[in-house]
Each structure stands twice: as structure tokens, then as C-alpha cells.
């Protein structure tokens, strides 16, 4: 898909005067429009709800925008639960999907009235001890060899997530006997998938399992959570999914399986992250150095601490050289960061216009799993996050880390007063 920017070079130069590079900037208008389009398409499913995966873009300003648009949140840790609480999201607007979960996280989720999604049959007893069995409970299903999965999550049978088929029936029986009243079923087996049929196939698989759950346990599921994992068009040749096609496919499967087996109504939930914010966030960075050795290197003031998808997944992120969009793409570069790791590259052998020191690069599709995956290895500091408001103004929604932040957790003589 063609890459477009919501700001001009002049606008970015103005922003940089106040907020130095590197920074992430999110486009509020585009996020809201996409959220509305998404909900409109899926509104053909009765009781549909999207729980935004907080881990994709864990910033309270972003959560607030999405909550205003009618989204709930999918949390996976104590800080994510606390952030959601601060934004004013509570109760069953929170799905708590975690794994290898500490007791304190179950306790906080229960206190907030969140829907708890169990990752393992042994967690029933663990949860009971930690907080008691709640009224409403969800189970995460892992289909094993029945499905094939993708690179990021891997083959389901090798993934650490979820209960096996046999455990699912057993777990519902135990939960019912321990007093749970309302039940949900969940799966999440793919990531960044652009094949619409794959989601419809996942829905069908869960609907069929719901029928079997009813036959084997007498439990009528209240909701089915199809997980996240819908992809975005990172590459120019990628085609975005059609929300309408997926919604229609899920609805057909629902009619053919859930309705036919007299299990209607079952609410359909999703917990997409990437699809909601990924396309609408940009990493803006300045060129510090040009280096010509066995290859041509462009050294930026950002690094994989700001966006590590290219390094860990070999992911493609489109790069625009601001103001040179119409120049010939005659040069081949590796676009790098400053980390002492040779995989610290945003692009490898990328055809780009001729780059000069001081040029501003925009790295596209960094709005999800971008800033969020940041880290401090090599003493690298996380950048600021900015929000391009609907009226064109720019707000800083998280300041950049400072050296003081980096030292804040150390208690070594005088190290905090390093100056």
C-alpha cells in the first residue's frame, strides 16, 4: 500500500525545534478514523467488543482515545492493569490475558473486575488460592497441530500458550463445579497475518469447539474472543485486510455453527493491537553519519532500542527521506542505529534517494510494538512519544528518558549524582 505522511517536512522541522529527534509520533485523527471503521464493520456481530492489546502501544493517552471510541483493553501485566485503571477503564472492559502469571496480577485483575483469561488448567487452583474463582472466566485454547501458526508466534504445538483440547473440557467442568457462572473461550495463534481467511478459519474452529463444550459440559459460552494478530501492510506490495470481509466471514460461520446448534447468542470479542495503531505511528530520526566501507551506511540518532522489529523479526519498515520523496531512488544503503550489535539496522540494502548528513528520516508503521519494545541495553535511552492532535497541534505524551532515569534504580555511592 502507498505510504502517506500526515505531516510535511516543514511541520516536522517545527516539531523538532521543540522535541529533538528521535521521537515517535502518533496520528490521532487516523487512529480515531480507523477505530470507527473497524467497529462499524464488526457491528454486524451482535455484542461485538474490541479489547485493544495494551502491549502494542502502552500509553495512557492512546488508551484514552481508544476508550472514547468504545474499545476496552487487553492487559497482560500489573503495570498495564494499573495504566488502564488510571485511564478510567475498569470491570469487564478489561480482558486480562497473561501467561506464567504471578498471584498479585490475578489479584489486581479481580479487584478491577476484569475478565480473567486463564492460560493453563493448573491456574484454576492457583487463581482460587490467589483471589477465589470469579463469576466470569475465560480459557485460552491452543489447537496444537490442528493449525499451523506464523513466524512471530510459531507453531501452536510449540507455543507456550493455552490449554489443549482435552484440558479445555476438563477445565470448564472444574470451573463450573467451583462456582463460575459465565464462560468465555479465547485463542491467539497468529500475528501480523494478512490472510483474511485465516481469521474466519479461527472463528470456525472456536465455534465448533463451543458446540463440543456444550455437548460435553452443558456450558453455553457467553463470549468467544478471537484474539488479535491481524496484520498491516508494512510493505508497499502488501494489501490491507478488509474489515468487512472478515466480519462477514465470521458472521457466516457464526450462523452456520452457533445459530444452527441453538447456542445463539454468543458475543464475539477481539483483541487486536497492531491493526489499531501500527500504521498511524512514525519514528522520526535524523541522519548523524554517512559511512562508506564495504557497504554504504546511514547512521541515525535512533537505534533498535526505539524500534526493534527489523532486528528481531527481519521486519520491513518503509523509510521516507523527508523532502526527497520525489528524488530518484538510486542509492543502496543500510540504515543503522548506534547500538554495538550488527543487527541494529532499520533497513538493509534499501534503495533510497541520496542521503546527506542532517536529513530527517521517517520510519513508517512504528505505531504498534515499536516504542513499546524499547530497552536500555548499551545505555540507550527511550525516546519521547508525541501525539499529532486532530487540530494539527502536537502534544508530548511521554518525555524522552534522561541519563537520570537510567541511573534512578541504582544505589551505588554517588552514582545518581554522576555530574
Examine residue 226 and tell whether it contacts ligand PLP (CB under 6 A).
no
Which residue in the set 258, 272, 322, 386 belongs to the binding site for ligand PLP (CB under 6 A)?
272
Q: Which is nearer to ligand PLP, 157 or 334 (CB)?
A: 157
Q: How far apart are CA 366 and CA 384, in angstroms?
A: 13
Q: What share of the chain is helix, strand, coil (3-state, %, to 5)?
A: 35, 20, 40
Per CB under 6 A, 274 contacts ligand PLP: yes
Q: Of 75, 272, 303, 340, which is the active-site residue?
A: 340
Peptide bond between residue 191 and the one before it cis (omega within 30 degrees of 0):
no
Q: Report the alpha-carbon distance of residue 155 to residue 147 in Å, rounded.
A: 8
Shortest Å, Cβ 225 to ligand PLP: 8
Among 21, 30, 35, 55, which residue interacts with ligand PLP (rule: CB under 6 A)? 55
Residue 49 found at the interface with ligand PLP (CB under 6 A): no
Which residues are bridge partners to 299 per DSSP? 289, 336
374 sits near ligand PLP (criterion: CB under 6 A): no
Packed helices 103-112 and 78-87: angle between N→C axes, nearest 10 degrees: 20
CA-CA distance, 22 to 306, in Å (whole number)?
Answer: 8
Verify binding: residue 74, ligand PLP, rule CB under 6 A: yes
What is the footprint of ligand PLP within residues 228-267 (CB under 6 A)? 228-230
Distance CA(267)–CA(119), nearest Å, equals 20
Q: Computed from CA positions of residues 165, 167, 170, 173, in that sequence, does the dihedral angle turn out positive or negative?
A: negative
Q: Could you say whether residue 202 binds ligand PLP (CB under 6 A)?
A: no
Q: Which stretch binds ligand PLP (CB under 6 A): 118-126, 224-232, 287-295, 370-378?
A: 224-232
Active-site residue, 138 included: no
Q: How many CA atoms lie within 13 A of 408 on its CB side?
A: 8
Among residues 134, 149, 227, 337, the one that binds ligand PLP under rule CB under 6 A: 227
Q: 287-326: which residues touch ligand PLP (CB under 6 A)?
A: none
* Nearer to ligand PLP (CB atom), residue 245 or residue 261: 245
Is 257:185 a contact under the CB 8 Å cutoff? no
Host H or E run for residue 387:
strand 384-388
> Among residues 337 and 370, whose Cβ is nearest to ligand PLP?
370
Q: How far is the CB of 97 from ligand PLP (least distance, A)?
A: 4
**Rounded CA gap, 43 and 39, in Å?**
6
Binding-residue total with ligand PLP (CB under 6 A): 18
Q: Is 370 near ligand PLP (CB under 6 A)?
A: no
- Of 58 and 227, which CB lies nearer to ligand PLP in the complex structure? 227
User: Nearest Cα to 85, choosing from 112, 59, 110?
Assistant: 112
54 close to 83: Cβ distance less than 8 angstroms: yes
Q: 272 or 304, CB closer to ligand PLP?
A: 272
Site residues, ligand PLP (CB under 6 A) = 53, 55-56, 74, 97, 188, 191-192, 227-230, 271-275, 368
Amino acid at each position: 500500500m502507498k505510504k502517506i505522511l500526515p505531516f510535511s517536512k516543514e511541520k516536522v522541522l517545527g516539531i523538532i525545534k521543540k522535541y529533538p529527534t528521535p521521537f515517535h509520533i502518533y496520528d490521532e485523527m487516523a487512529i480515531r478514523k480507523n477505530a470507527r471503521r473497524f467497529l462499524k464493520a464488526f457491528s454486524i456481530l451482535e455484542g461485538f467488543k474490541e479489547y485493544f492489546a495494551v502491549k502494542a502501544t502502552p500509553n495512557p493517552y492512546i488508551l484514552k482515545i481508544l476508550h472514547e471510541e468504545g474499545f476496552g483493553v487487553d492487559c497482560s501485566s500489573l503495570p498495564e492493569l494499573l495504566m488502564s485503571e488510571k485511564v478510567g477503564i475498569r470491570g469487564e472492559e478489561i480482558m486480562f490475558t497473561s501467561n506464567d502469571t504471578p498471584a498479585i496480577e490475578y489479584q489486581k485483575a479481580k479487584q478491577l473486575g476484569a475478565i480473567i483469561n486463564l492460560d493453563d488448567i493448573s491456574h484454576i487452583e492457583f487463581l482460587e488460592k490467589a483471589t477465589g474463582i470469579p463469576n466470569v472466566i475465560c480459557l485460552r485454547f491452543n489447537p496444537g497441530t490442528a493449525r499451523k501458526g506464523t513466524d512471530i508466534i510459531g507453531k501452536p504445538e510449540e507455543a507456550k500458550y493455552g490449554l489443549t483440547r482435552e484440558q479445555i473440557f476438563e477445565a470448564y467442568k472444574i470451573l463450573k463445579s467451583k462456582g463460575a457462572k459465565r464462560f468465555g473461550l479465547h485463542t491467539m495463534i497468529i500475528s501480523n497475518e494478512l490472510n483474511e481467511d485465516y481469521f474466519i478459519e479461527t472463528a470456525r474452529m472456536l465455534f465448533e469447539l463451543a458446540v463440543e463444550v456444550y455437548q460435553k459440559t452443558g456450558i453455553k459460552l457467553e463470549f468467544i474472543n478471537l484474539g488479535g494478530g491481524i496484520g498491516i501492510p508494512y510493505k508497499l506490495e502488501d494489501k490491507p485486510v478488509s474489515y468487512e470481509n472478515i466480519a462477514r466471514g465470521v458472521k457466516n460461520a457464526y450462523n452456520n455453527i452457533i445459530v444452527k446448534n441453538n447456542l445463539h447468542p454468543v458475543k464475539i470479542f477481539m483483541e487486536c493491537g497492531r491493526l489499531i495503531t501500527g500504521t498511524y505511528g512514525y519514528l522520526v530520526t535524523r541522519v548523524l553519519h554517512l559511512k562508506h566501507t564495504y557497504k554504504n551506511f546511514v547512521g541515525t540518532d535512533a537505534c533498535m532500542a526505539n524500534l526493534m522489529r527489523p532486528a528481531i523479526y527481519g521486519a520491513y519498515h518503509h523509510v521516507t527521506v523527508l523532502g526527497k520523496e520525489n528524488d530518484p531512488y538510486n542509492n543502496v544503503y543500510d540504515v543503522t542505529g548506534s547500538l554495538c550489535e550488527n543487527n541494529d539496522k532499520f533497513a538493509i540494502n534499501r534503495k533510497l534517494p541520496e542521503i546527506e548528513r542532517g536529513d530527517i528520516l521517517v520510519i513508517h508503521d512504528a505505531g504498534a510494538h515499536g516504542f513499546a519494545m524499547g530497552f536500555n541495553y548499551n545505555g540507550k535511552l527511550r525516546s519521547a512519544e508525541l501525539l499529532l492532535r486532530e487540530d494539527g497541534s502536537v502534544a508530548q505524551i511521554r518525555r524522552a528518558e534522561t541519563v537520570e532515569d537510567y541511573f534512578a534504580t541504582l544505589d551505588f555511592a554517588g552514582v545518581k549524582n554522576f555530574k
